[in-house]
Amino acid sequence: MRFEDHTFDVPLDHDRPDGERITLYAREVTADDSLPWLLFLNGGPGFPSPRPLGDEGWLRRASREYRVLLLDQRGTGRSTPVTRRVALARGASYLTYFRADSIVRDAEMIRAALRSPPWTVLGQSFGGFCTVTYLSFFGDGLRSALVTGGLPGLTTDAADVYRSLYPVVAAKNEAHYVAYPEDVVMARRVAAHLASTDVRLPNGRLLSVAAFQSVGTLLGGRDGHAKLHYLLESPFDGDQLSDAFLLATQEALSWSSAASPLYYLLHEPSYAQGFGATSWAAQRVRAEFPAFDAHRSLAGDDPVLFTGEMIYPWMFDDDPLMAPLRPVADELAERIEWPPLYDVNRLGANRVPVAAAVYDTDLYVSRDLSLRTAAAIGDLRLWHTADHQHDGLRVSDGEVLSHLLTLLA
């Protein structure tokens, strides 16, 4: 496979084409320049495209039929970045231009710059959300669409998403403790220690009980149960948490680190589209599920439950690097006016062939909302499977992508 760099100049605000400009970066991966284009939109929001090492099964499979374009979505990677300092300097209003509605308009400008006819888009997770936005407003630019673990609720708000996901996270906890019953005692011991002791990770971030619970995001991957179990195998050095445990926990929490401030700041706003403010939906809805109250669990005999992919306001307060951004996050959480992300009528009339994988026990994207959306999109071929987790595209050595391509064919 051959790699080639591309850069593109686009407006920050597509409604003001003569205003401020930003740069987008994309890496072409191809074995044959005569093949049609496939645009890959990765998960997030706020993460750059994957950096290929040459052994990715899905990328090898894709390159047999396509020239693959790995886009660093605006604000990430080698595109004009939104770093912690940029977010602090530019504020909440600037960050509103880094959602799916802007990303798909970027994609159409890139397609025009490459002089490509309608192309295929592969969207993973948040990239799938972007793909549904693409189908809603720029379907004429698509030859076909592939979605893996990324069908969003079309008429739901962030609170609806979390009401659907918290029971899934609870079920993942139950399955973990059935597989590793010894972890019940160890997780309670770690949580009890954190409840009575000020513990800092090596990077200075507070390891609170709630932060410890958030390592449950590990449970969303193929090997997640084993990784969480190994984390809990021997966390103590005498009566203190060991350096090895703290370093491993810091790594497990890297998904919500200052390295990706857009993820922190736009995670809940990525669901917002005119239904009102998100108002820290994950925190509000969590109160409806008292089983996740670790202090309540420690006061009794219940297991401590881990949480999933949720952003909470305390994550800013506990992280010295992110704390200055708390006012920006609060402003985004209280913002009411958001443009629409999906057009239900256009999606119902869609004639672009779509193949979508919905993972039955997806920790990050609601299966129930995804199935409802699959039924609402015209010409969508659904693969509802329990054989893979949310990371199926990445870890299945091309199997997931092959199945979706077969559905298209």
Per-residue pLDDT at 173 exceeds 90: yes
* Residue 256, pLDDT score: 78
Residue given tokens 């998100």 in the structure block: 278
Element (H or E) spanning 23, and its range? Answer: strand 21-30
* Residue 54 pLDDT exceeds 80: no
pTM here? 0.96
**Residue 125: DSSP 8-state:** T
Question: Which amino acid makes up residue 123?
Answer: G
Q: Rounded CA gap, 262 and 84, in Å?
A: 8
What tens digit of pLDDT does each residue of 59-76 get?
999 999 999 999 999 999
Domain boundaries, the chain: 2-155+342-408, 158-333
pLDDT tens sequence across 243-293: 999 999 999 998 877 888 999 999 999 999 987 899 999 999 999 999 999
Give the contacts of 140 (CB within 8 A, at least 6 positions apart). Answer: 118
Give me the pLDDT at residue 362, please: 97
What per-residue confidence (pLDDT) applies to 352? 98
Annotated catalytic residues are 125, 362, 390
Give the per-residue pLDDT at 341.
Answer: 97
From first CA to last CA, the distance across the chain in angstroms is: 24
Fold of the domain spanning 2-155+342-408:
Rossmann fold (3.40.50)
Residue 33: its pLDDT value, please? 92
Q: Sorting pLDDT into bands at 50, 70 and 90, what band is 133?
A: very high
Where do we find the tokens 């992508």? 401
Name the average pLDDT for the chain: 96
CA 210 to chain centre: 20
